[in-house]
Structure 1
Amino acid sequence: MPRPATYDLKGLNCPLPVLKARKRLAAMRPGSRLWLETTDPLAVIDIPAFCADAGHQLIETAAVAGGHRFLVERGVA
């Protein structure tokens, strides 16, 4: 499996990280993975909720300096 791309969403506040992630994931093939990097404190709530609603799988969540990283696998929907 190819290494997941990283989508830099740092500096964006709710709802922009989710809106941009939705658009980027929609252009990817099902099963593809994407790292989302955020600084928005609400992303720890918003990204998992978005994944659940949109049928994507949240593979990994990690706190990093200044924010969070989320590894998302695009669902089939």
Structure 2
Amino acid sequence: MSEKTILDATGLKCPLPVLKLRKALEGLSIGEKIILHADDPVAPLDVEHFCKTAGHDLLNINQKENYVEFLISKN
């Protein structure tokens, strides 16, 4: 049950990573987690703001070599 959805938004510019994330979260149940990969430099700010305003939990931000990995839990 620990399988997570991975959403690849690399190569997309603001606001597309957050729009894709919002759409993907709609298909998840409360408590399910999703991993978002994004390489837009403003993605960390956008994703954090989206999670706060939409009420989802941003559990982790992990800087990888070519992208940032976000772990989000749907609320």
TM-score band (shorter)? over 0.9
Q: 1:29 maps to what in 2?
A: 29
Q: 2:56 maps to what in 1?
A: 56
Structure 1 segment 1-77 matched on structure 2, within 5 A? 1-75=1-75
How much does 1:55 deviate?
0.5
Structure 1 gaps of 5+ residues are none
| Percent identity of equivalent pairs | 37
How far does the alpha carbon of each residue in 1:2-36 deviate from its partner, in whole angstroms, 9 at most, with x for none?
Answer: 22121101000000000110010011101000000
Which runs of at least 4 in structure 1 moved beyond 3 Å after TM superposition?
Answer: none
d(CA) in 2 for partners of 1:65 and 1:50? 24
8 Å CA contact 1:41–1:67 kept in 2: the answer is no
- Alpha-carbon RMSD across the aligned residues, in angstroms, is 0.8
TM-score (ref. length: structure 1): 0.93
Structure 2 gaps of 5+ residues are none
TM-score (ref. length: structure 2): 0.95
d(CA) in 2 for partners of 1:51 and 1:69? 14
Look up the SS of the partner of 2:52 in the other structure: helix
